[in-house]
């Protein structure tokens, strides 16, 4: 039985989209493989109706073992020159796996390996499905993260080559927990406001301020109080038994001074009424934050 040798030309094509103007809505992508089938004498295998081939896209794990991403079998047909074509359809669920790992394309016939080549560049149509780099955080109104994204809820994600870029950025395999949080730019602004350090949490605070309430009374110096009497028998001349009749021979008014006190002030101690909620916040709208794998 003659061996078959193949020369491959790889092309990338977007096969179907929901919206032609939005790459983010691409549902499937195809790798179009074109090759020339030749035997051991380098002669073209022309006009073969069914040439059985196995097409596989895979990556190598830490143990250098092949991990399949996509595996397809097909019977291809060659023309008068031995040229054949085949399109590997790639579902959107595999976009992240291919774009985030060093993928290989292998073509075999039984135990014979015709081609086993590293994809030198991630196919653009696959790489561009989401249009954003790994580690990007976005607001999202869905309850479940879309393909290629994870919820920012503090969950642990798989430690595999697909997620290597995100793991490198985060320094762990745990997504940031942004439940109940706002996002803020890191560093210090020109106006003096300072945000949190990168990938850290800044606790809630209220800026130092005063309440315009004056609770201090006036302070008076040493003083005395005077009491005046209009009717008296102060000089002991005349008057009845009560001593409160007019003394016509002396001045009508007499005074009696009370004891003087020293300087003093009055202090008022108390608190304003408690009012408000458990946090200080602006008006807001609830979303889920998601992070790009």
Domains of the chain with CATH codes = 4-127 (2.60.40), 137-183+288-292 (no CATH)
As a dihedral over the C-alpha atoms of residue 163, residue 165, residue 166, residue 171, rounded to 10 degrees, the angle is 110
Residues in the chain: 293
pLDDT digit string, tens, across residues 29-75: 778 888 888 777 788 888 999 999 999 999 888 788 899 999 999 99
Q: What percent of the chain has pLDDT over 90?
A: 25
Q: What is the rounded distance in angstroms from the CA atom of residue 145 to the CA atom of residue 234?
A: 102
- Calculate mean pLDDT across residues 131-143: 90
pTM of the model: 0.54
pLDDT digit string, tens, across residues 77-112: 999 988 888 988 888 778 777 777 788 999 888 888
Closest to 116 (Cα-Cα) out of 199, 203, 54:
54
Q: What is the rounded distance in angstroms from the CA atom of residue 245 to the CA atom of residue 253?
A: 12
Counts for the chain of helices (H) and strands (E), in that order: 3, 12
- What was the pLDDT predicted at 266? 65
- Calculate mean pLDDT across residues 121-130: 58
Instruction: Sort 215 into a burial class: Cβ within 10 Å, 0-12 / 13-18 / 19+.
Output: exposed
Asked if 79 and 46 count as a contact pair (C-beta separation under 8 A), the reply is yes
Q: What is the rounded distance in angstroms from the CA atom of residue 3 to the CA atom of residue 225?
A: 128
Query: What radius of gyration do the chain's Cα atoms show?
Result: 45
CB count within 10 Å of CB 174 equals: 13
């Amino acid at each position: 039985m003659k061996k078959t040798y193949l020369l491959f030309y790889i092309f990338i094509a977007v096969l179907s989209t929901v919206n032609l103007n939005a790459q983010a809505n691409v549902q499937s992508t195809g790798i179009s493989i074109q090759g020339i089938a030749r035997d051991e004498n380098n002669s073209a295998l022309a006009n073969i109706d069914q040439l059985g081939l196995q097409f596989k896209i895979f990556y190598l794990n830490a143990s250098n073992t092949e991990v399949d991403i996509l595996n397809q079998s097909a019977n291809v047909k060659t023309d008068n020159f031995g040229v054949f074509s085949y399109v590997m359809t790639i579902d959107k669920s595999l976009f992240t796996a291919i774009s985030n790992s060093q993928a290989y394309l292998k073509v075999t016939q039984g135990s014979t390996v015709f081609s086993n080549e590293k994809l030198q560049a991630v196919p653009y149509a696959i790489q561009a499905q989401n249009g954003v780099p790994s580690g990007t955080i976005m607001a999202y109104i869905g309850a479940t993260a879309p393909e290629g994204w994870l919820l920012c809820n503090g969950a642990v994600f798989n430690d595999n080559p697909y997620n290597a870029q995100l793991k490198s950025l985060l320094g762990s395999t745990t997504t940031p927990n942004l439940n109940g949080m706002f996002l803020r730019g890191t560093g210090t602004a020109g106006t003096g406001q300072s945000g949190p350090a990168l990938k850290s949490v800044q606790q809630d605070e209220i800026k130092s301020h005063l309440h315009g309430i004056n609770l201090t009374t006036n302070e008076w110096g040493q003083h005395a109080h005077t009491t005046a009497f209009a009717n008296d028998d102060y000089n002991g001349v005349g008057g009845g038994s009560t001593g409160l009749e007019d003394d016509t021979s002396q001045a009508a008014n007499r005074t009696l001074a009370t004891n003087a006190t020293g300087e003093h002030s009055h202090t008022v101690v108390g608190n304003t009424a408690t009012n408000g909620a458990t946090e200080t916040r602006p008006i807001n709208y609830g979303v889920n934050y998601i992070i790009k794998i």
